[in-house]
Amino acid sequence: MSRLLLHFLLTLVRVFYTPIRAVFSGGRPPTGPRIFVANHPNGLLDPVIVRLALGSDVHFLAKSTLFRSAIGRFTLGAFGGIPVYRARDGQNTQDNERTFAACRDVLAAGGSIALFPEGTSHSDPSLKPLKTGAARIALSAVAERGLVSLPIYPTGLTYESKDVFRTGVLATFGEPIDAAVFARQHGTDFAAAEALTEDIHRALSGVLLEADTQELWRGFLAVAAWTDPVCRDDLAARHARARVLRDAFQRLHSQDPAAAETLVERARSLVRAMEQAGVSDPLAIAEPPPIAPLGSVALLLLVWPLAAVGAVLAWAPYRLVRPIALRIAGSDTDLVSTVKLLLGLAVLAATYSLEALVVGVSVGPVAGLATLVLGPALGFVALRYGERLEARQSVLRAHWLRATAAQRRTALLESREALAVAVADALGTTP
């Protein structure tokens, strides 16, 4: 049952986020004992993303309060969860000796663990100070279990839009720090753990896009996409270019704050021009993609009845989940997507069951069973249909703007070009 639940939840997260892209700076991690230390922007979904990006089993640490209920213990147990006890939760932190021992057992057996050393999930655009737990676990495993090598991989998680359904995620795995080598050079005491934590912090910063504000964080990613066609559809390339932009912007801001503010204002100007034009991609306005062939349009027309049925069956819960999740999460924006996923699963399951019951009572048990089976399948058809239809509409808007609003299109392109030139000047490259 636990393996079945594991595969079901992994599939569900794959549907929620697409694509999930993994980039390995030092090559794919080899098998054997490994520790992955990651930033923590998205609640309970972060360890699932790490697991999916690696494509292998990973034990992870989770706060002990999540293990209180039978459902929580069963679900976290399916993912290899290990409880960690925090003083802020009113727990006895001495119980973490059992946590550390469990981690050492996993590593000694050649397994992997994932930790989030910030200690809490958050939506800040930069890392919080790291706890020493990851370093202490690694050094104690080396000292007590005689591990000759224990790589610690900095793991950066970047969500395109973490609370928006069907958006992408990037997991960047950096060059590892070998805790065994570190222990031979610096020892395994608490001072060594603090020093190793500092090294982990630097390594983790090296695979993340950090910024002073959310506006700048989003802006670096957006400008990377708007000024380089390669970055538009490739989150990994966009993330890499955004980090280059961030570094260049920081240098510019330290040398000439007025010029840096001018760059920010040009980006804001482009955003306003795009909003006025009703578009989200200025590159699509410059060179609109070709209009879909008639065969593709005909396929949309043929699939429309199935998509319509799927949309009717799932419309109410699909629309209600987001506002309810926002209300439940409140100010904890890092938990919105976790709540949406769990709430959506529960609400959709209840909706399809109720619809099947109504059909079964009204028409017959066979029809009710068919509704229960076909409802989720048709809902997925409706989802994919909506994505295809939205993509076609975006192409048509770009062509319509090009054909009917030459002045607005020209202003938009001029604003984009001015931003591209300013960015090129800041980077010392050609636009």
Residue-level pLDDT at 430? 57
CATH number at residue 201: 3.40.1130.10
Instruction: Answer yes or no: is 414 within a domain.
Output: no
- Per-residue model confidence (pLDDT) at position 354: 93
pLDDT at 180 over 90: yes
Same domain (yes/no): 310, 404: yes
List the domain range (segments joined by +) for residue 233: 214-280
Question: Which of 35-39, 41-45, 108-112, 341-345 bottoms out in mean pLDDT, i.e. has the lowest?
Answer: 341-345
List the single range of 26-40, 205-219, 240-254, 324-338 with lowest mean pLDDT: 324-338
> What residues are paired with 177 via a beta bridge?
152
Tell me whether strands 34-38 and 59-63 are parallel, antiparallel or unpaired: unpaired
pLDDT at 27 over 90: no
Q: Which residues contact 224 (CB under 8 A, 6 or more apart)?
A: 231, 238, 239, 241, 242, 245
If asked whether residues 176 and 250 sit together in one domain, one would say: no
DSSP-assigned states of every residue in 219-250: HHHHHHHHS-HHHHS-HHHHHHHHHHHHHHHH
Q: Which of 20-29, 70-79, 346-355, 375-384 has the weakest average pLDDT?
A: 70-79
Q: Is the pLDDT of residue 45 over 70?
A: yes
Please indicate, yes or no, whether residues 157 and 21 belong to a single structural domain of this protein.
Answer: yes
pTM value > 0.85: yes
Q: Is the pLDDT score of 410 beyond 70?
A: yes
Domain stop point among 170, 205, 240: 205
pLDDT tops 60 at residue 263: yes
Residue 55, CA atoms < 13 Å, CB-side half-sphere: 9
Output 186 or 161, whichever has higher pLDDT. Answer: 186
Residues 383, 353 share a domain = yes
Together in a domain, 200 and 219 = no
What does the mean pLDDT of the chain come to? 88
Q: For the residues of 37-76, what is the DSSP string, one character each? A: EE---STTHHHHHHHHHHTS--EEEEEGGGGSSHHHHHHH
Please tell me the number of Cα atoms within 13 Å of 241 on its side-chain side. Answer: 23
- Which tens digit of pLDDT belongs to each residue from 283-339? 777 776 666 665 666 777 888 899 999 999 988 887 888 888 888 877 777 778 888
Check residue 61 and give its pLDDT.
92
What would the mean pLDDT of 92-96 be, rounded to a whole number? 87
Regarding whether 325 and 227 lie in a shared domain, the answer is no
Task: Please indicate, yes or no, if residue 59 is contained in any of the structural domains.
Answer: yes
pLDDT attached to residue 110: 96
More confident of the two residues 333 and 383: 383
Any domain includes 429: no
Domains in the chain, number: 3
Q: What is the pLDDT of residue 298?
A: 76
Tell me the CB-side half-sphere exposure of residue 255, using CA atoms within 13 A.
8
